[in-house]
Amino acid sequence: MSLTLIITFIALLGSLYVFCPSSAELPWFEHPAKPDGSLSFLVVGDWGRRGAYNQTKVAHQMGIVGEKLKIDFIISTGDNFYDDGLTGVDDAAFFESFVNIYTAPSLAKQWYNVLGNHDYRGDVEAQLSPVLRDIDSRWLCLRSFIVNAEIAEFIFVDTTPFVNKYFTDPEDHVYDWSGIQPRKSYLANLLKVN
Ligand SMILES: *[C@@H]1O[C@H](CO)[C@@H](O)[C@H](O)[C@H]1NC(C)=O
């Protein structure tokens, strides 16, 4: 598990804050707050266990809390599919760990997902693929992106490629670094984002 999420809360005086895109721009999504100006959401990480390790029970409770809070969306901080990500867009784990687990009506909201190191041990492109969105429209997974939710701005940063040991000492694991090579320029470019 690695820290895969930086949340930036903008105070209500947020009009003073100006987003300045630099040479690298992140994909950007607008998510409206509630009509009363509030926002609520759940954050979950390290979850894809095909229902085991109490995942189903946690999902059930998420559904109850989600309804009470009238959540607007859900954030996943990564390690979405244990142990080794998805094998491809047709991996049944997408159903067994996501589609068929988070079935409560209150969880039928947009999910904003990022990748954890376990996800990099599988077919990373699969989780990023629009094919999964077609299967379940709640699913949105990108490496790094921004969600502007009116009263708060959420900045999602793909931090796994920053961790040296995954490259120098991967132990028995194989990481799928396709799409981030050459690593140096990938990281440099990401750090340039304002
Ligand atoms: C599930 O939760 C129970 C109660 O907290 C705990 O005793 C049990 O070890 C958990 N099961 C697994 C497989 O983690």
DSSP designation for 106: G
Residue nearest to atom 4 of ligand 1 (CA): 54
CA 112 from chain centre, in angstroms, equals 5
pLDDT value for 2 = 46
pLDDT digits over 164-177, tens only?
999 999 888 999 99
pLDDT digits over 20-43, tens only?
444 468 999 999 999 999 999 999
Residue nearest to atom 13 of ligand 1 (CA): 53
Write phi, then psi, for 60 (nearest 5 degrees): -60, -45
CA 49–ligand 1 middle distance (angstroms) = 13
**6 confidence band (pLDDT: 50, 70, 90):** very low
Stretch 103-111: mean pLDDT: 98
Q: Which two tokens stand for residue 88?
A: 């491809």
Is 28 touching ligand 1 by the criterion CB < 6 Å?
Answer: no
Residue nearest to atom 11 of ligand 1 (CA): 53
User: Looking at the domain that runs over 3-190, which CATH code has it been given?
Assistant: 3.60.21
CA 57–ligand 1 middle distance (angstroms) = 10
Nearest-atom index, ligand 1, CA of 52: 13
Cβ neighbours of 28 (radius 10 Å): 12
